[in-house]
Structure 1
Amino acid sequence: MRLFQYDAPLWRAVSTIGDLIVLNLLACICALPVVTAGASLTALADTSRRMAQGEGTAVWRMFLTSFRRNFRTASLAWAVVGPVALVLLAAWIFVQADELIVLKALISAVLLLGFPFLWSLIARFDNTVGAHLKNAWLVAIGNLPLALGVLAIHAGMIALVVATAYYLPAGFPVLLLLGVSLPWVASAPLIERAFRPLLDRAS
């Protein structure tokens, strides 16, 4: 009879998967206009943390509340980071000079390390855009093992999606429904550990 109770492990797992799918769809839809991608990423980071900590109830409500609250700051941050990422991507595609590979790889690694921390900082702390941009990379570099762990989780999800598309196409749609939200929720505890000194200082 335990199997059919709402708080049974099976139904909790089904509920969590459903929440991840809803979060995934919201993040993708809200990022579609491109200019709103920063606000979408911030709401994704905020909602992922709350889910990982068991806070809140309705995922859609948490996401949309965070999206509206952080829209201005996140959009300004995206106006800085987005073009940098675009130029870097264009450099990888169109600039094939071998002597620049190490430089491009180094810049890419630095950008990727701080990227998740930026949106999480905006969601957690009130500060200027410049301070958020500076602090995101300071926190990432100052907590390099945690930052590498976050990066590994996201890279692992991308590799899993690509491998599934090639070797198990039937499972590809399922992974697509979890491909954005799952790594964010999985990496939220690592980001929170990196923020602990900042939270202690703010309290």
Structure 2
Amino acid sequence: MEKLFNNRFIDGISKIADVILISFYFLACSLPLVTIGASSTALYYATHKCIYKGRGYTTEFFHSFKDNFKQSTLSWLIFILLYAILGGDIYITRNYLSPDSPFAAASIFFMVLLVFTVLWAIYHFAYIARFENGFKESFKVSAVFMIANIGWTLVMLVLLIAIYYLCYRFLFLILFAPGIISCTLHPILEKVFRKYMTEEDIAKEDEL
């Protein structure tokens, strides 16, 4: 029993170290900002393969970063454009419309759209990390996953708010937030993904 406890304790410490490392990789590789998409894909890839499946090392992050750089970066540029448009709409409706205007409440609508666009991006980059598909198809499929599994999507939103609150209360957690978010959302995303995988693919993954 003591040996089992020691093994689990050591394994737990190792997992925490892995979370810290992949968080550091993400922050370092996201510094140019334009590479956040590739870093997000690599973060989920390393989380899935190294931390949850126990295959390989955290340096798998850089393998995914390189392999998915083009698709992830182009996707990120599109999401930046969407964020800019929605952010601009929110700013205009909150600052340039009279409170009596029938369109004054539109800012709430745009804020909801912005939140779901962020969740869409999470689905999207996790999808790229797990599956090979075309550029347009990846956008369409990840959007369908988000909407078709709206219950889990809302659970993800609650978890993100909780993590944000913890980081606000304990600022040092910001340094580890990427890994914490990825590890927290991973079980939900995998539950969604496995619903659409073939039995052969699931059996192959379970065997590995």
TM range (shorter): 0.7 to 0.9
Which has more radius of gyration? Answer: 2
Is the 1:161–1:179 contact (alpha carbons within 8 Å) kept by the matching residues of 2?
Answer: yes
Answering whether residue 13 of structure 2 is matched by residue 14 of structure 1, we say yes
TM-align CA RMSD: 2.3
**In the alignment, residue 133 of structure 1 is paired with which amino acid?**
F
Unaligned runs of 5+ in 2: 98-103, 202-208
Of the two structures, which has the highest relative contact order with CA contacts closer than 8 Å and spacing of 6 or more? 1
Matches of 1:8 and 1:26, distance apart in 2? 27
Superposition TM-score, scaled by structure 1 size: 0.85
Answering whether residue 101 of structure 2 is matched by residue 101 of structure 1, we say no
Is the 1:23–1:44 contact (alpha carbons within 8 Å) kept by the matching residues of 2?
Answer: yes
C-alpha displacement of 1:150: 1.9
Matches of 1:48 and 1:158, distance apart in 2? 20
Answering whether residue 57 of structure 2 is matched by residue 58 of structure 1, we say yes
**Residue deviations 1:10-38, cap 9 Å, x none?**
22222111111101010111111112111
Matches of 1:2 and 1:19, distance apart in 2? 24
Is the 2:22–2:179 contact (alpha carbons within 8 Å) kept by the matching residues of 1?
Answer: yes
Matches of 2:107 and 2:31, distance apart in 1? 31
C-alpha displacement of 1:81: 0.9
**Aligned match of 1:126:** 132
Unaligned runs of 5+ in 1: 165-171
C-alpha displacement of 1:95: 4.3
Matches of 1:56 and 1:100, distance apart in 2? 47
C-alpha displacement of 1:2: 4.2
> Percent identity, aligned pairs only?
22
Matches of 2:21 and 2:185, distance apart in 1? 18
What secondary structure does 2:105 align onto?
Answer: helix
C-alpha displacement of 1:120: 1.0
Moved more, 103-112 or 5-14: 5-14
Matches of 1:136 and 1:86, distance apart in 2? 21
